[in-house]
Amino acid sequence: MSVVAQFKQEIRKYGNLFRELVVKGIRLKYRRSYLGVVWSMIEPLLTMIVLTIVFGTLLNHKEREFPVYILCGRLVYSLFSQSTTAALKSIRQNESMIKKVYVPKFLYPLSSVCFNYVLFLISLVVLFAVSLVLGVYPTLRIFLALLPLFVLFVMSVGVGMLLATVGVFFRDMEYLWNVFLMLIMYTCAIFYYPEKILASNVSWILKYNPLFCVISNFRSCIFGEAMDPGFLLYSACFAGLSLLIGALLFAKNENRFILYL
């Protein structure tokens, strides 16, 4: 049986458990919050306001649509950051279940990415509301936003499975990944226009960040502009490669996880 066929068979067999893991992830994230899932809409809105005030003043961005520009980048980056971090912790957080019953272990990082995607979809309500208020009206190109978001999903799963594997054997990976995420954030042009803040001879650095490519194309769809095909191809290739490496590394080491939990 091929790996893909086995994956489909286990997804069908453990589909109910997978859905429960997704729901459990959402509940645990907001278990001590009075606002619950509503916070997934309020938090990006408040963050957008703060970043707009701070960086709009420091960088002299007076454009009316600047908050939408920030919100697009903030939402996509947060999705990648939170989903990969949750995937990294997923095996260790579910060690009691892993030790008691057999469950395909890839369900844990996969469900971690999926529940963060559900929260991301809810937060898109804020993006569309802010866009309409500030005069950024949707065009037919908005449907093309599904492409960079799908690429981001594949990338998050691949990187998440890689991190989940390394995190079992190397516990400090969680702290190192937080530092690395900070570096990724500053090279994603979340709160600045890259052509304005970087000198022309170093701006190419951003193009080698696949997450920046995803954010750039997502923004283009929201603003009704054409996506950059080079960015789309590069980020898709990176996502596919990360999924291949992450899945192979995870499959090769998953039987050893229980020895380190």
Nearest one of 231, 82, 21, 206 to 147, comparing CA atoms: 231
Helix (H) or strand (E) holding 27: helix 15-29
C-alpha 260: how far from chain center:
27
Assigned domain for 112 exists: yes
Mean per-residue pLDDT for 175-185?
93
Q: What is the pLDDT of residues 119-169, one digit of tens each?
A: 999 899 999 999 999 988 989 999 999 999 999 999 999 999 999 999 999
The residue ranking higher by pLDDT, 194 or 157, is 157
- Structure tokens belonging to residue 71: 């919100």
Give the single-character DSSP code of 140.
G
Assigned domain for 79 exists: yes
Assigned domain for 4 exists: no
State the DSSP string of 71-119. Answer: HHHHHHHHHHHHHHHHHHHHHHHTHHHHHHS---TTHHHHHHHHHHHHH
pLDDT tops 70 at residue 3: no
139 three-state secondary structure: coil
Number of domains in the chain: 1
Q: Which domain holds residue 97?
A: 11-259
Assigned domain for 5 exists: no
Give the single-character DSSP code of 145.
G
Rounded to whole angstroms, the Cα distance separating 96 from 92 reads 9
Split at pLDDT 50, 70, 90, the class of 199 is: low
